[in-house]
């Protein structure tokens, strides 16, 4: 057993010396390893192509959305204008003047003496009288009377035409209607001999 220990003791320094020798750093000549460039170039090209395709798809989608938004805005404006037009038509139809005119057109007249029914017991309050066409009321006002200044009475002017050979066969005197300025009417022309009757 002692021999085994002695052999182990002699072997340990040898292993230690060998490990120390191996552990020492030495300068190693540098190896130049060229990495293959083809996979890197393919990766860069794929990234660039994917980025351009994504950007193009994004721009196309944004343009389609803009067109859709513009079309929807035009449609909303048209619908808002239609709603406003329909609201104006509804207000015009709700006008009491329009309601009265339509009621008069179909022959409705207001009752002269209305009667009311009490709902609690069904009793008729008042003396009902049937309405007639004479009970109709005027809806529109009468037109204003025209002032006499704007509608003067016509002046009648008798024109005496001297008798000649050509006029002997025609009627006696012709009457001509003129206005205030003395202009002749459609029956003839004024001559030097004019008489004015008022």
pLDDT tens for the chain, 198 residues: list them: 556 555 555 556 666 666 666 666 666 677 777 777 888 889 999 999 999 999 999 999 999 999 999 999 999 999 999 999 999 999 998 888 888 888 888 888 888 888 899 999 989 888 888 888 777 777 777 788 888 888 788 888 888 877 775 555 554 444 444 444 444 444 444 444 444 444
58 is a domain residue: yes
Calpha distance 123→115 (Å, rounded): 10
What is the number of structural domains in the chain?
A: 1
3 is a domain residue: no
pTM of the model: 0.37
SS in 3 state form for 24-60?
CCCCCCCCCCCCCCHHHHHHHHHHHHHHHHHHHHHHH
Residue-wise burial string across 42-76, b where 16 or more C-beta atoms lie within 10 A, e elsewhere: eeeeeeeeeeeeeeeeeeeeeeeeeeeeeeeeeee
Q: Domain range for residue 60?
A: 40-115
Where do we find the tokens 């994917």? 50
21 is a domain residue: no
């Amino acid at each position: 057993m002692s021999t085994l220990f002695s052999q182990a003791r002699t072997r340990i320094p040898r292993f230690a010396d060998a490990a120390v020798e191996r552990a020492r750093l030495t300068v190693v000549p540098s190896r130049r390893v060229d990495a293959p460039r083809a996979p890197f170039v393919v990766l860069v090209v794929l990234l660039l192509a994917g980025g351009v395709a994504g950007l193009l798809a994004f721009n196309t989608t944004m343009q389609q959305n803009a067109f859709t938004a513009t079309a929807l805005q035009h449609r909303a404006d048209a619908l808002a204008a239609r709603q406003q037009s329909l609201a104006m038509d509804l207000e015009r139809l709700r006008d009491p003047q329009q309601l009265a005119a339509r009621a008069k057109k179909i022959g409705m007249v207001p009752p002269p003496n209305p009667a009311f029914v009490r709902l609690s017991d069904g009793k008729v309050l008042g003396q009902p009288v049937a309405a007639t066409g004479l009970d109709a009321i005027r809806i529109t006002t009468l037109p204003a009377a025209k002032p006499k200044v704007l509608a003067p009475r016509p002046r009648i002017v008798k024109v005496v035409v001297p008798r000649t050979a050509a006029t002997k066969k025609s009627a006696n005197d012709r009457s001509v209607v003129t206005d205030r300025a003395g202009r002749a009417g459609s029956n003839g022309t004024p001559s030097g001999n004019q008489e004015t009757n008022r």
